[in-house]
A and B are shown apart, each in its own frame.
Chain A
Amino acid sequence: MEKVGVCDEFVNLKATELRLGLPGTEDVCQEEKEMVSCGKINKRALPETEKEIESTGKTETASPPKAQIIGWPPVRSFRKNSIQAKKNESEGQGMYVKVSMDGAPYLRKIDLTVYKQYPELMKSLENMFKFSVGEYFEREGYKGSDFVPTYEDKDGDWMLVGDVPWEMFVSSCKRLRIMKGSEVKGLGCGV
């Protein structure tokens, strides 16, 4: 029986998909987790009809891997995910942090190490969530927009994005949250 390649099933769900690639790249869901989260019964390529699917946006020098068959090899997701996280670290594959925006229904994940400085990060967030962040002032924070990018650092404190040097930010940021302006009172430029 001719089975369509996995990628075609998810064209309509692109707007809501969660993935680990660079934002804005044209790539295809390959992670099993994401397939399951789309809520549909998994269709998988039969061995005879499997197609070569390109790798995700992660930088890879190797040739595109074969299409991964769902559930094969039979390793539980929990184990796969635990080891995957470690692989990413060991291969220097980046620092993934969750990004949420007040009012948006879905979380995204981004790799902080692909950005060199704050402006790049801001631009990417703006593209991802379709908002604009305004201008950053050292004393007054962000002006010109209702939305303010904040992050949670290693101590659990919520800080304004841009207050600390970039390298310090990358190493201490645990997750990002784009707050609606009204909630930002109290977030000064203190550390």
Chain B
Amino acid sequence: MSEDESPPLDLRPEPPCSSSSAVDSTPNKSRNCISSSTASQTFPDHVLENVLENVLQFLDSRCDRNAASLVCKLWWKVEALTRSEVFIGNCYALSPARLTQRFKRVKSLVLKGKPRFADFNLMPPDWGANFAPWVSTMAKAYPWLEKVDLKRIFVTDDDLALVAESFPGFKELILVCCEGFGTSGIAIVANKCRKLKVLDLIESEVTDDEVDWISCFPEDVTCLESLAFDCVEAPINFKALEGLVGRSPFLKKLRLNRFVSLEELHRLLLGAPQLTSLGTGSFSHDNEAHHQSEQEPDYAAAFLACKSVVCLSGFRELMPEYLPAIFPVCANLTSLNFSYANISPDMFKPIIHKCHKLQVFWALDSICDEGLQAVAATCKELRELRIFPFDPREDSEGPVSELGLQAISEGCRKLESILYFCQRMTNAAVIAMSENCPELTVFRLCIMGRHRPDHVTGKPMDEGFGAIVKNCKKLTRLAVSGLLTDQAFRYMGEYGKLIRTLSVAFAGDSDMALRHVLEGCPRLQKLEIRDSPFGDVALRSGMHRYYNMRFVWMSACSLSKGCCKDVARAMPNLVVEVIGSDDDDDNRDYVETLYMYRSLDGPRKDAPKFPLLREKAPCISDRSCSEVEQAWVCLQYQRRYSSLEPLRGGTGGVKAISNYGLVLEGMRRAKARGFSDVSH
């Protein structure tokens, strides 16, 4: 919308507000203040709805769509009709019924379930996040559904069967960090989803049902563009795979699991030179085949033929002597994942020296500081770096240190995202990174030994992380480690204004640390804390924030059940789950794990049988559903605009441009009902 255009009619929704006089005083001069009783029945509404539909369908960003939906009820309605992809960051924030009631034409669902700490065995295995209620509801409401993208969701074979049966136009199935299903479920999808373009199984646990799922794909030419099964820990029928690849002319991404040998990879490559993304499987010999063949296949030639490969991963059981086979594609690579390959610096350096275009690089720390220095020297376009520990124990030898980090910071100035596991670190190196890499949005440093200070100065790591939040002005995600006092958190609260995700473990001295963060970080959405001395005072200090956050996780902290109950009572739209403390413990009041999140539909009904604290505040039953929804909507609305510079007049906190007059209306109503500005 251009700034000069003003909205043609007053589309104030019913009931007509007595605060219409407030509307008159908006800066928008061309507004017509007609009472809604006449407006809602006139013909222009109909036209406007069509016009809006034609315009709003082009809005992609969900932030924009959320904002548009809050303008007025008509915009809400039209936006709901035109939203085709829905993103749900917490599957328990609302019920499936609410989704299908609001959005009528959904083609794509992105759904996230368990919080990230569930990956590290900090949550009981049967906690929830089931796909079943979602798929059964959508099966009736969205027969045209095309895409499902799930993360940390429990998906069963039956769920997958229902997907395959219910959605004839189904195109994309992406399962990231999911579990609960096996190769039999995959087989059904492969067989029945005739329009399937994407089947991506990423870091998911897939049980081996001893089903030849590859053979279940239909015999004719497929629509497959992406097939990723590197996490499937089961042998596959290679002949069937070769046939499948041969009849998939649109296949661009293929990620093999470790049961595909080097020889088999070679054959596949010869048949699929159009691939852009390749997961190489085991990258080692099938022993029998090796002994039998007289001459070794020319692996390098196969890679040479793959001129389009820009993304390489796999190497699950790497035989390093065959690594030079990938030389021909190195110069084109933008993404390289060696994180399952135990490569030494000497084997690594010849490869990386050819990878000038690399933007994403994942590896094990076996490449050592020396390998990182080689990366720094060559990969000037690097945007994302992840270094995982070969030996993920607290007291292991760490082959990478501050030297590697320093080198990367000096060589890779465009770095945006880093995850770095190490055993030794210094504030100086972290400060250097904060100064050299201004584009950093994600900084995750994991010093594996708990409470480790700067190993040169012996001081806490406060100054290093302080420099990161201060100098990296675009930082949205931060994970801290090492010895940290409350000072580090003071820095976070003072400077970390854009932080959305914060991970804390074994850090801080007192409640003040958490208070700094809760009071100082207005954009905080996801907070995960473990084993830190934060208690009730800290928890209470964040109550003004919790409705504007996706979740808060606190485990092995110093919280009491009483305080959690108080929070639950005070905040009716917050679900407070207390997990883990058995009733026959010595200390009944101790909370082992607190997981709380906002929800429109109250506490979930599928919680497992361990002690679970759910408080539904009495007042919520007095309110009608739509009122709650409106209340929620108003809060969201406030969050969107509160961070802008306040101007004189208007409602405060909103850039008042004439065509946002309708937007101001909503804000005024919210304020009239007692909702205050959020989070500052």
Residues of A bordering B, CB below 8 Å: 1-2, 32, 35-36, 39, 41-42, 44, 46-47, 65-66, 68-80, 82-83, 86-87, 90, 154
Q: Is residue B389 contacting chain A, with contact meaning CB distance below 8 A?
A: yes
19 contacts between A and B (CB under 8 A): A1-B590, A46-B556, A65-B393, A65-B395, A72-B394, A73-B448, A74-B117, A74-B446, A74-B505, A76-B119, A76-B120, A77-B119, A79-B203, A82-B316, A82-B340, A83-B364, A83-B390, A154-B287, A154-B288
A152 to chain B, nearest CB (A): 12
Task: Provide the bound-state CA to CA distance between A157 and B283, in Å.
Answer: 25
Interface of chain A: mostly helix, strand, loop or mixed: loop
State which size class the interface on B falls in: 35 or more
Cβ–Cβ contact B203 & A78, under 8 A: yes
Query: Could you count the A-B residue pairs with CB atoms below 8 Å apart for me: how many are there?
Result: 96
A70 to chain B, nearest CB (A): 6
Known A-B contacts A47-B506, A73-B448; A78 and B205 likewise in contact (beta carbons under 8 Å): yes
Task: Provide the bound-state CA to CA distance between A70 and B393, in Å.
Answer: 11
Known A-B contacts A1-B590, A78-B205, A82-B340; A71 and B389 likewise in contact (beta carbons under 8 Å): no
| Complex contacts, A82 vs chain B, CB 8 Å | 258, 316, 340
Residues of B bordering A, CB below 8 Å: 117, 119-122, 124-125, 177, 203, 205, 231, 258, 287-288, 316-317, 339-340, 342, 364, 388-395, 421, 446, 448, 450-451, 505-506, 530-531, 556, 579-580, 582, 586-587, 590, 592, 610
Cβ–Cβ contact A72 & B450, under 8 A: yes
B178 to chain A, nearest CB (A): 12
Cβ–Cβ contact B505 & A77, under 8 A: no
Cβ–Cβ contact A71 & B450, under 8 A: no
Interface centre among B122, B258, B340, B587 (most CB of A within 10 A): B122
Task: Contacts A47-B451, A72-B506, A154-B288 known; list 18 others, CB within 8 Å.
Answer: A32-B121, A41-B124, A47-B531, A65-B393, A68-B394, A71-B117, A71-B120, A72-B120, A73-B421, A74-B505, A77-B119, A79-B388, A79-B392, A82-B340, A83-B340, A86-B317, A90-B342, A154-B287
In-complex Cβ contact of B388 among A36, A75, A86, A90 (8 A): A75
Task: Provide the bound-state CA to CA distance between A74 and B116, in Å.
Answer: 10
Closest to A155 in B: B288
Cβ–Cβ contact A36 & B125, under 8 A: yes
In-complex Cβ contact of B122 among A71, A79, A83 (8 A): A71
Cβ–Cβ contact A80 & B342, under 8 A: no
A65 to chain B, nearest CB (A): 6
Task: Provide the bound-state CA to CA distance between A166 and B196, in Å.
Answer: 48
| Complex contacts, B388 vs chain A, CB 8 Å | 75, 79
In-complex Cβ contact of B389 among A68, A73, A77 (8 A): A73
Closest to A71 in B: B120
| Complex contacts, B389 vs chain A, CB 8 Å | 73, 75
User: Closest 10 interchain pairs by CB?
Assistant: A71-B120, A75-B392, A73-B448, A76-B119, A71-B122, A41-B580, A74-B120, A41-B124, A1-B587, A71-B121
| Complex contacts, A80 vs chain B, CB 8 Å | 392
Task: Provide the bound-state CA to CA distance between A82 and B317, in Å.
Answer: 9
Known A-B contacts A36-B125, A86-B317; A73 and B392 likewise in contact (beta carbons under 8 Å): yes
B585 to chain A, nearest CB (A): 8
